[in-house]
Amino acid sequence: MTDVLTQTDLFSKFDPLIEQRRALLSTGLTDPFNLVMERVLSPTEAICNGRPTILLGTYNYMGMTFDPDVIAAGKQALDEFGSGTTGSRVLNGTYAGHRAVEDALREFYAMDHAMVFSTGYQANLGIISTIAGKGDYIVLDIDSHASIWDGCKMGDAEVVPFKHNDIEAMEKRLRRIPEGAGKLVVLEGVYSMLGDIAPLKEMIAVAKAHGAMVLVDEAHSMGFIGPNGRGVAEDQGVLDQVDFVIGTFSKSVGTVGGFCVSNHPKFEIMRLVCRPYVFTASLPPSVVHTAATSIRKLMHAGEKRAHLWENSRTLHAGLIARGFALGTQTPQSAIISVIMPDLERGAAMWEALLHEGLYVNLARPPATPAGMTLLRCSLCAEHTAEQVQTIIGMFERAGKAVGII
Amino acid sequence: MDRAATSARIADLIAPFNKKGIAITDTVTFAGDLEWDSLTVMDFVAAIEDEFDIIISMNQQAEIETYGQLVDAVTRLRG
């Protein structure tokens, strides 16, 4: 009889990963990719493994998940519109709430068009694969998110990556594109692995000089960076030069969904030609009503933004002072990324922090650049100054226990 | 520039990336013989692109597995 675990089949390609996980978990380590939040107490606290845990890896930057107005809007929508739309946006799946959240986005960004997708992943997948077709060129940062790469792969355009945040490398590639070919430059405001921002002002100027359209993914900056929380492009004064902003509801907005906003006069045609928009069910009414309410509150969240920046600066300085290696020399976003020497010690540190009562994200290749293992911390505007000090103490104790500092 | 001259220039560019000192022939594979990871491939492709002032898109890279295929592609891209 053939042992199903040793026979060769389509799953054989996953054997190295299966073996790596087996070796890691055989040490008795808690599986970092299988944690259950048993109860969620607030945007910053949950019960994990029966233990009260501070949440520092949720991307819930603005802490909107338990906002009373947001919750009330969702409950009301459940009562009035039911639990789901059971249909595509272009058929029976556009309710009043879908229009309302697109109105809120247009106002939030002061742009002409807004199109809501069921997830942020689908927003990148749909827009990129649809606008860049055969014979066109996509020039993108090598550290782009998986949804951007998958959007490139799904379309028929020529895909040309350049070294992370390297303006000259980007310029060289744009210059070499054949005359007359369509060009799309894809950038991110905040790169979520290291928490660093892009020099959008310079990069967008170069892109425009070469006649390229520009798409910027502002998933990790919405609500927080820029005078009105519109993102890094707004902060650097170049939002009017961006053709397409991609964003998500699953971070600062505090629910799920994705979107693209644009001033392009023909943008509305996307609703008919973009397959990841057409061939999937639309978001449930409760989700779009919570999102609309949250987005409108984020327009007036200046004080929360200031507090979140304060949290980011305090944690960054505190971890540097205790000898941790961080992804950025200065705090550039609400993500503070702690560089681990290897996966084994990264996983051990992750577990030690969990035992201290702190949840962070363990990130490892291939999601990470340069094969790094990272403990990614994302701060929340609802973290108190005391919680941030508690977090620094937890890092210090866990780091000493694991031998990283 | 003919194929031989292109090949000679690419061979010079490979040297700093050829950590294992593998003898470079047309049948040498980048992933298999040279054991390059994706980061090394990116740096090497950038070096080739800059040297010849060409673009080798990801789509084209997917078709290039051996040194000989790379020389052919660069020769073709230079027109």
What is the arithmetic mean of pLDDT over A158-174?
97
Q: Are residues A389 and A255 in the same domain?
A: no
A1 belongs to a structural domain: no
The length of chain B is 79
- Sequence-separated contacts (24+) of B67-74 with Cβ below 8 Å: B67/B10, B67/B14, B67/B24, B67/B25, B67/B26, B67/B27, B67/B28, B67/B29, B67/B30, B68/B25, B68/B26, B68/B27, B70/B10, B70/B30, B71/B3, B71/B6, B71/B7, B71/B10, B71/B26, B72/B3, B74/B6, B74/B10, B74/B48
Q: Are residues A259 and A320 in the same domain?
A: no
Does A172 sit within 8 Å of B42, measured CB to CB? no
A8 belongs to a structural domain: no
What is the arithmetic mean of pLDDT over A198-221?
98
Q: Are residues A258 and A307 in the same domain?
A: no
A20 belongs to a structural domain: no
Q: Are residues A276 and A254 in the same domain?
A: yes
Mutation for testing the A interface, residue in B45, B56, B58 having most A CBs under 10 Å: B58
State the pLDDT at residue B23: 92
A149 belongs to a structural domain: yes
What is the arithmetic mean of pLDDT over A278-282?
97
| Cα distance from N-terminal residue to C-terminal residue, chain A | 51
State the pLDDT at residue B19: 87
Measured over the CA atoms of residue B17, residue B22, residue B28 and residue B34, the dihedral's sign is negative
Q: Look at residues A215, A196, A195, A194 and name the one whose alpha carbon lies nearest to residue A204.
A: A215
**What's the mean per-residue pLDDT of chain B?**
92
Whether A110 shows a pLDDT value over 60: the answer reads yes
Q: Among A298, A317, A342, which residue terminates a domain?
A: A298
The domain in which residue A369 lies consists of 25-55+302-402
Query: Could you tell me which CATH number the domain at B3-77 has?
Result: 1.10.1200.10
Distance CA A401, CA A395 (A): 10
Whether A99 shows a pLDDT value over 90: the answer reads yes
Pair of tokens at residue A400: 């000493």
Whether A33 shows a pLDDT value over 90: the answer reads no
- Sequence-separated contacts (24+) of A311-317 with Cβ below 8 Å: A311/A379, A311/A380, A311/A381, A311/A383, A311/A385, A311/A388, A312/A336, A312/A379, A314/A385, A314/A388, A314/A389, A314/A392, A315/A377, A315/A379, A315/A388, A315/A391, A315/A392
A51 belongs to a structural domain: yes
- Helix and strand totals (H; E) in chain B: 4, 0
The residue that leads in pLDDT, A28 or A246, is A246
Check if A142 contacts B (Cβ < 8 Å). yes
A103 belongs to a structural domain: yes
Backbone angles phi, psi at A214, to 5 degrees: -125, 130
State the pLDDT at residue A3: 65
B13 forms bridges with which residues in the sheet?
none
Domain chopping of chain B, boundaries: 3-77
Q: Are residues A272 and A312 in the same domain?
A: no
State the pLDDT at residue B37: 85
Distance from CA of A393 to the nearest CA of B (A): 36
Q: Are residues A325 and A398 in the same domain?
A: yes
Q: Among A298, A330, A357, which residue terminates a domain?
A: A298
Does A370 sit within 8 Å of B55, measured CB to CB? no
Does B42 sit within 8 Å of A161, measured CB to CB? yes
Q: Please write the tens of the pLDDT for every residue from B40-53.
A: 898 999 999 999 99
Q: Look at residues A361, A358, A310, A350 and name the one whose alpha carbon lies nearest to residue A331.
A: A310
Distance CA A246, CA A224 (A): 15
Number of domains present in the structure of chain A: 2
Q: Are residues A193 and A83 in the same domain?
A: yes
Distance from CA of B58 to the nearest CA of A (A): 5
Q: Among A250, A270, A298, which residue terminates a domain?
A: A298
Q: What is the pTM (predicted TM-score) of this model? A: 0.95
A12 belongs to a structural domain: no
**ipTM rounded to 2 decimals:** 0.93
What is the arithmetic mean of pLDDT over A213-227?
97
Distance CA A258, CA A135 (A): 27
Q: Are residues A34 and A121 in the same domain?
A: no
Q: Please write the tens of the pLDDT for every residue from A42-78.
A: 999 999 989 999 999 999 999 999 999 999 999 999 9
Band (pLDDT 50/70/90 cuts) for residue A102 is: very high
Whether A97 shows a pLDDT value over 60: the answer reads yes
Please name the amino acid found at residue A150.
Answer: D
Q: Please write the tens of the pLDDT for every residue from B6-39.
A: 999 999 999 999 988 899 999 999 988 998 988 8
Mutation for testing the A interface, residue in B36, B43, B54, B59 having most A CBs under 10 Å: B59
Q: Are residues A280 and A181 in the same domain?
A: yes
CATH of residue A343's domain is 3.90.1150.10
The residue that leads in pLDDT, A5 or A188, is A188
Mutation for testing the B interface, residue in A176, A193, A368 having most B CBs under 10 Å: A176
What is the arithmetic mean of pLDDT over A151-177?
97
State the pLDDT at residue A77: 98
Check if A152 contacts B (Cβ < 8 Å). yes
Band (pLDDT 50/70/90 cuts) for residue A2 is: low
Q: Are residues A131 and A30 in the same domain?
A: no
Nearest to B46 among A163, A177, A370 (CB): A163
What is the arithmetic mean of pLDDT over B59-67?
95
CATH of residue A143's domain is 3.40.640.10
Q: Are residues A290 and A273 in the same domain?
A: yes
Nearest to B57 among A160, A370, A371 (CB): A160
Q: Please write the tens of the pLDDT for every residue from A227-275.
A: 999 999 999 999 999 999 999 999 999 999 999 999 999 999 999 999 9
Whether A325 shows a pLDDT value over 80: the answer reads yes
CB contact burial A240-276 (16+ within 10 A = b; e otherwise): ebbbbbbbbbbbbbbbbbbbbbbebeebeebeeebeb
Q: Are residues A377 and A288 in the same domain?
A: no
State the pLDDT at residue A32: 83
Q: Please write the tens of the pLDDT for every residue from A360-388.
A: 999 998 888 888 999 999 999 999 999 99
